[in-house]
Chains A and B, each alone.
Chain A
């Protein structure tokens, strides 16, 4: 059975990937750097990410059935395409390690008091391997199956957070400069490349009229959620926002207890737990696809074993390092992100606009059969 996902499934994956790590430590980190201006920073970065996805969708509309490698080969040549794919592989690898790191710390603090690394990895890695190994179809369907519950969980968190706000105050932006803004935007670029996976699965999305709109609708939905989340978080904690590293749990910690409802943070925990598996699965799948593109003769099983060993080693390196992974990503990851999410997309934009061989989706394209 040929792999292919519907636009709804693609939209759901985009939704889940966009939420990756943005609801944990990032709010407090941004607040520490820029205060309430973090709201503007997050708005700009989310808009940037959405724009990236828009470009990718336009690319898909133009080159309907081609893989991203074929598109790059056509534009830039095979060698450059392989280099870009290598960089993407590096990005996915770092993104997985970042995901594991952030969520291990979070779960250890929230619920697993004596969690050890090996136990967490033993649970997490096999399942994301299974998700990635079994193919995109089943991964997308599983995400589709649990999507409603995840959204309900997020809405509950937002609603409970909203009820925690004692009074709305207008945020004040102090000591803001263009340099600070630019520096912050650049430093956190790595966190906002979640749609890189979209390029890898670009050929596997079934095309029908309005598929781009469907995917963008889910993205806007997520954008709205995240932005409202940040507003609520900063309104709840105001000037102590920098103290709270587990935003999604902390946002409901101060809920006015109606009827002595206790331990509502389980909702946030479940949302995070479900989401990290899909995020890990998508990233690992994308990593595998990238490596397979660079080395077409590689064997799938061996690839996965290599990935697992590499992820474990990288994770241990960052975990036992003197600095947090966030610092490394701020210092070095931003350059990788610059190439992949700024330079390459800009080139792609020009290609989309100025390429003479334009192909448009014919109207009346029939829906593909369920497979």
Chain B
């Protein structure tokens, strides 16, 4: 005993090892894996309910299998707020909620009409859930949305997360996540933009029934009684599709203001340096090569340069857009060899003129919307405040209603197209 004590005094780290051995090792030996004690939530849907909110979650259920299998179950609960609803779900599933692998949060239009900031507050406060989690809006209930996406699991490349990730860069002009929502809210104009995906019964879009290589729902089980467990599609699976038509939901001060149409978003994207892979249809093109043709260009690369300045006290918002395009389709009455194989190394002045007109026409649609609804969707306020602060301040002071400043801003758009060789 004395020898042991002297050894321990000589090497104090052994005392620590002894403490760890006695205190922590027995529990560690018998401790089950962390994953078996957690309900790993991959998607969350929030709807409004008479009680307050209805939160639906898709929870991953491990199944003994040596091959890769994803098995999910849908749980939902109604409560006063999201935090209480998640606690109920924890009780229903019998496990602690794990939010750190949540990839998507879906809200519907109805709940977006109330202050969305209040709704997602517990989710943004959670240290588990990252602010890069996708946040999208849908037309029908979020629960139906999640139910429909139960079969779209992460093993397959055709899943909802990939859809949103693709759209962030190529379709929307926003990251459509919690962070972008807050950044918009805390911007001077308090405007946030989220992606919008419709749930329809049509045939176009991403079909959600069958065809998945890995199992989606558990197969057995009926829809849960009351709030609680329901397996996805416990009744006969409906033929629903997710329609990502390029629409975005615009929120002002955390409340849904409107959902932009496809055309409006297209017009808005003229002032968006992202959204590279899109199309431009130019009509009535007549030049040396074409004769009253309708040409569809595929936009490959965009370089947008925005300049804000004042001319005689009038704010000018000027965008110079260099486009690299490719001719995708030509519709013309009499197709000849020139129009079939156009050698467009340099865009003709007529074609350039037509492109500029088309761009301005498309943008005009959204410009009118911005003025009418007082929605600064191009961050004009921020840019003017940054680059011409004093002039902008005096300009705002000169207005009766400073929230209406867009009415007096002159928008200029110059498109310099190039066709890629």
Contacts and interface: CB of A to CB of B under 8 A. Distances in A.
A/B contact in complex, CB under 8 angstroms: yes
Interface of A: 109-110, 113, 119, 122, 126, 129-130, 166-167, 169-170, 172, 237-240, 243-244, 250, 253-254, 257
Contact of B183 (A113, A119, A126, A240): A240
Interface in B173-202: 175, 177, 179, 182-183, 186-187
A158 to B, nearest CB: 18
Interface stretch (B46-54, B244-252, B385-393): B385-393
Nearest to B124: A243
B382 interface: yes
Contact of B16 (A126, A166, A237, A243): A126
A122 B22 CA distance: 13
Contacts of A122: 16, 19-20
B127 interface: yes
Given A166-B274, A238-B183, A243-B131, 12 more contacts: A109-B127, A126-B16, A130-B13, A169-B382, A172-B389, A237-B183, A239-B183, A240-B186, A243-B124, A253-B131, A254-B131, A254-B132
B204 interface: no
A240 B132 contact: no
Given A122-B16, A122-B19, A130-B13, A239 B386 contact: no
Contact of A169 (B20, B131, B182, B386): B386
A257 B165 contact: yes
Given A243-B124, A243-B182, A166 B175 contact: yes
B20 A253 contact: no
Contacts of B124: 243
Interface string B377-405: 00000100111010000000000000000
B16 A254 contact: no
Interface residues of B, number: 27
B175 A172 contact: no
Contacts, number: 47
A172 B183 contact: no
Contacts of B13: 126, 130
Nearest to A236: B179
A253 B130 contact: yes
Nearest to A239: B186
Interface in B58-86: none
17 contacts: A110-B127, A113-B128, A122-B16, A122-B20, A126-B13, A126-B16, A130-B13, A169-B382, A169-B386, A170-B386, A172-B389, A240-B131, A253-B131, A253-B132, A254-B131, A254-B175, A257-B165
A207 B174 CA distance: 57
Query: What are the 7 A-B residue pairs with the smallest beta carbon separation, nearest first?
Result: A109-B127, A239-B186, A126-B16, A240-B182, A254-B132, A253-B132, A253-B130
Contacts of B319: none
B273 A254 contact: no
Interface of B: 12-13, 16, 19-20, 24, 124, 127-128, 130-132, 165, 175, 177, 179, 182-183, 186-187, 273-274, 382, 385-387, 389
B134 to A, nearest CB: 11
Contacts of A119: 24
Tell me the dominant secondary structure on chain A's binding face: helix
Tell me the dominant secondary structure on chain B's binding face: helix
A170 B131 contact: no
A172 B386 contact: yes
A20 to B, nearest CB: 22
Contacts of B131: 240, 243-244, 250, 253-254
B187 A239 contact: yes
A239 B131 CA distance: 14
Given A109-B127, A167-B273, A253-B132, A237 B179 contact: yes
Listed residue (B177, B179, B382, B386) with the most chain A CB atoms within 10 angstroms of its CB: B179
B179 A254 contact: yes
Contacts of A257: 165
Contacts of B382: 169
A64 to B, nearest CB: 36
A257 B273 CA distance: 19
A219 to B, nearest CB: 33
Listed residue (B182, B183, B386) with the most chain A CB atoms within 10 angstroms of its CB: B183
A238 B131 CA distance: 14
Contacts of A109: 127
A170 B186 contact: no
A230 to B, nearest CB: 18
A224 to B, nearest CB: 25
Nearest to A119: B24
Contacts of B183: 237-240
A254 B132 CA distance: 6
Nearest to A111: B100
A110 B128 CA distance: 8
Listed residue (B186, B385, B389) with the most chain A CB atoms within 10 angstroms of its CB: B186
A361 B53 CA distance: 74
Contacts of A130: 13
Contacts of A243: 124, 131, 182
Listed residue (A129, A170, A238, A239) with the most chain B CB atoms within 10 angstroms of its CB: A239
Contacts of A167: 273
Nearest to A167: B273
A240 B179 contact: yes
Nearest to B383: A169
A331 B120 CA distance: 34
A39 B202 CA distance: 53
Contacts of B130: 253
Nearest to A118: B23
Nearest to B181: A240
A311 to B, nearest CB: 15
A172 B389 CA distance: 9
Contacts of B389: 172
